[in-house]
């Protein structure tokens, strides 16, 4: 700036100070300018910075001035959960403490000895509800009803399930010392059980065979198979294919696929399983704000076809269960029996945080069934609205609350690995309805085979012969 320009500006400043009322006018002008600036819409970047500043200022004020000390991590995690609660019920923050549980749900694998446990009401100790076939606990002779009296020399009296899980789980190859009181015994047996990778199967049958493996053939005379899927994990497709191949070698003529109480799981598992029963056509499409629309279609290779298929669903069948049942229903490959499903039509991505120490499960897309009908049950949705997967006409079989409780008790008894015969007088009317459909389909006369088409060269020769005549 030149000396003259500097001098002019300085004189203007002096004059302004000396003129009565001018300072107030300048101040008013500045205020108006600030108000106008504040009224201008913020850019996305400015708004983002402003909101992050509010968050940081609030965090700092709580830490400095709150009446007592606050755990920083708890405060930050509470803020994360608060943000995600504003989105939808399926987006959530997975803390480092909960990440291992989440991984087990997806992978269906963990290091342990292979028992399902509960706390016995009478003894207030750990009771085995069932060992998992083939696991270290099973091989050690632990059976349903056994009481675990001690773990590593510590009494299990008053123990919680979470405490027990922490003591029993561990690195594969390490041993855990447990004291077990078998049913009918008076003396505690001490066992050193070596931990192993425990795989929890998501593909089950209706009952166990003599060797405690699942029997997938529900009716050996009619050759009707029965397979129950409890979730859609990484190994579900592989396990299901193995079960189907086993049934195929036994001459299976029809199948019941039970998806009741299946909360879902991996989208890839749902599409792969749908593809096992479909030769062509759309399985599902997904759409998101920041992802391109993706359409998954069926391939003919590896398809299990040529037999009647009934799918059992209920009000707790959700997500991946709805993808499979909707795809097979829309393509007329299966009849859907039971109750209207849960109504979850959204897809979540698991995003690693803190270099994999924690994670964010975030809804990033919605999925759509082949027919285009809506699956998602939005807030305030009514019964008459379109959502979930409805049973086919004539195949709606609702359970009352009492029937649901009896079914769960019936299922719990049949899922126990025990040498004693399972006794249950419960009649599963949903399964019975599925069997009725299959019986009717099997009773239909076989369709005549389509006439074989002549090879192109034969047709050409015939045409030429006709032309000569």
Question: Can you tell me the mean pLDDT for 55-61?
Answer: 90
pLDDT score recorded for residue 34? 53
pLDDT score recorded for residue 21? 45
**β-strand 309-313 against 335-338: which pairing, if any?**
parallel
- Residue ranges of domains in the chain, CATH in brackets: 110-199 (2.30.42.10), 203-443 (3.90.226.10)
- Does 424 qualify as catalytic in the annotation? no
Question: Can you tell me the mean pLDDT for 398-419?
Answer: 91
Question: Can you tell me the mean pLDDT for 409-424?
Answer: 83
Mean pLDDT of the chain: 87
pLDDT score recorded for residue 215? 96
310-333: per-residue pLDDT in tens?
999 999 999 999 999 999 999 999
pLDDT score recorded for residue 100? 84
Question: Can you tell me the mean pLDDT for 86-92?
Answer: 92
Catalytic-labelled residue, pool 317, 319, 325, 346:
319
118-173: per-residue pLDDT in tens?
888 888 899 998 999 989 999 999 988 899 999 999 999 998 988 888 899 999 99
b/e for 132-168, b at 16 or more Cβ within 10 A? bbbbbbbebebbbbbbbbbbeeeebeebeeeebeebb
- Does 330 qualify as catalytic in the annotation? yes
Question: Can you tell me the mean pLDDT for 88-95?
Answer: 93
pLDDT band at 49 (very low <50, low <70, confident <90, very high): confident
Spatial CA neighbour of 280 closest among 325, 236, 333, 335: 333
pLDDT score recorded for residue 1? 44
Catalytic-labelled residue, pool 317, 344, 358, 428:
344
Angle formed by the axes of helices 3-18 and 22-39, nearest 10°: 110
pLDDT score recorded for residue 453? 61
* DSSP secondary structure, 326-342, as one string: HHHHHTTS-EEEES---
3-state secondary structure 347-406: EEEEEEEHHHCEEEEEEEEEEECCCCCCCCCCCCCCCCCCCCCCCCCCCECCCCHHHHHH
Maximum pairwise Cα distance, the chain: 123
H/E stretch holding 446 reads none
Please say if the pLDDT value at position 423 is more than 90.
no
What is the Cα Rg of the chain in Å?
A: 33
Please say if the pLDDT value at position 29 is more than 70.
no
Question: Can you tell me the mean pLDDT for 11-24?
Answer: 39
State the Cα–Cα distance between residues 209 and 228, nearest whole angstrom: 15
Q: What percent of the chain has pLDDT over 70?
A: 87
Task: Give 77's contacts (C-beta < 8 A, 6+ positions apart).
Answer: 93, 95
pLDDT band at 197 (very low <50, low <70, confident <90, very high): very high
Question: Can you tell me the mean pLDDT for 27-31?
Answer: 53
Question: Can you tell me the mean pLDDT for 9-18?
Answer: 37
pLDDT score recorded for residue 136? 94
Spatial CA neighbour of 200 closest among 174, 154, 231, 161: 231
CB 286 within 8 A of CB 347: yes
346-378: per-residue pLDDT in tens?
999 999 999 999 999 999 999 999 999 999 999
pLDDT score recorded for residue 178? 95
203-247: per-residue pLDDT in tens?
999 999 989 999 999 999 999 999 999 999 999 999 999 999 999
- Does 344 qualify as catalytic in the annotation? yes
Q: What percent of the chain has pLDDT over 90?
A: 66
Q: What is the pTM of this model?
A: 0.81
292-304: per-residue pLDDT in tens?
889 999 999 999 9
- Judged by average pLDDT, the poorest of 19-23, 83-87, 278-282, 351-355 is 19-23
Spatial CA neighbour of 287 closest among 239, 347, 234: 347
Phi-psi region of 388 (alpha: psi -120 to 50; beta: other; left: phi over 0): left
pLDDT score recorded for residue 393? 97
- Judged by average pLDDT, the poorest of 5-19, 73-87, 108-122 is 5-19
Catalytic-labelled residue, pool 330, 358, 428, 433:
330
Please say if the pLDDT value at position 286 is more than 50.
yes
pLDDT score recorded for residue 444? 92
pLDDT score recorded for residue 292? 84
pLDDT score recorded for residue 7? 34
pLDDT score recorded for residue 463? 52
Which residue do the tokens 């009803």 mark?
145
pLDDT score recorded for residue 37? 57
pLDDT score recorded for residue 108? 80
């Amino acid at each position: 700036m030149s000396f003259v320009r500097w001098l002019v500006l300085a004189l203007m400043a002096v004059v302004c100070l000396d003129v009565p009322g001018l300072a107030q006018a300048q101040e008013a002008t500045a205020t108006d300018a600030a108000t106008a600036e504040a009224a201008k819409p913020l850019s996305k970047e400015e708004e983002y910075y402003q909101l992050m500043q509010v968050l940081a200022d609030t965090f700092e004020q709580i830490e400095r001035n709150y009446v007592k000390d606050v755990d920083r991590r708890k405060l930050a995690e509470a803020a994360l959960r608060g943000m995600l609660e504003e989105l939808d019920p399926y987006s959530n923050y997975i803390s480092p403490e909960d990440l291992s549980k989440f991984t087990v749900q997806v992978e269906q694998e963990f290091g342990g000895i292979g028992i399902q446990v509960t706390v016995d009401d009478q003894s207030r100790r750990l009771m085995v509800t069932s060992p998992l076939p083939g696991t270290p606990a099973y091989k050690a002779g632990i059976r349903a009803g056994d009481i675990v009296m001690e773990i590593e020399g510590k009494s299990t009296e008053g123990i919680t399930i979470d405490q027990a899980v922490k003591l029993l789980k561990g690195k594969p190859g390490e041993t855990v010392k447990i004291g077990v009181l078998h049913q009918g015994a008076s003396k505690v047996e001490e066992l050193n059980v070596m931990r192993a990778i425990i795989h929890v199967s998501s593909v089950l049958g209706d009952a166990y065979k003599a060797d405690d493996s699942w029997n997938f053939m529900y009716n050996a005379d009619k050759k009707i198979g029965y397979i129950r899927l409890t979730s859609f994990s990484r190994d579900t497709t592989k396990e299901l294919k193995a079960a189907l191949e086993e049934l195929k070698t036994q001459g299976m003529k029809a199948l019941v696929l039970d998806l009741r109480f299946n909360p879902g799981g991996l989208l890839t598992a749902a599409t792969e399983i749908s593809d096992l029963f479909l030769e062509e056509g759309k399985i599902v499409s997904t759409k998101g704000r920041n992802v391109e629309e993706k359409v998954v279609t069926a391939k003919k290779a590896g398809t299990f076809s040529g037999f009647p298929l009934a799918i059992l669903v209920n009000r707790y069948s959700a997500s991946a269960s709805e993808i499979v049942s909707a795809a097979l229903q829309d393509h007329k490959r299966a009849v859907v029996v039971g109750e209207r499903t849960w109504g979850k039509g959204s897809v979540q991505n698991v995003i690693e945080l803190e270099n994999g120490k924690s994670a964010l499960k975030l809804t990033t897309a919605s999925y759509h069934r082949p027919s285009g009908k809506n699956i998602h049950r939005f807030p305030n949705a009514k019964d008459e609205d379109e959502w979930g997967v409805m049973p086919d006409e004539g195949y709606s079989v609702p359970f009352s609350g009492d029937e649901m409780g009896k079914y769960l008790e019936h299922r719990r008894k049949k899922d126990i690995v025990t040498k004693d015969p399972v006794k249950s007088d419960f009649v599963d009317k949903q399964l019975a309805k599925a069997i009725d459909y299959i019986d009717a389909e099997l009773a239909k006369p076989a369709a005549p085979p389509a006439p074989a088409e002549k090879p192109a060269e034969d047709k050409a020769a015939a045409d030429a012969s006709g032309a000569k005549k």
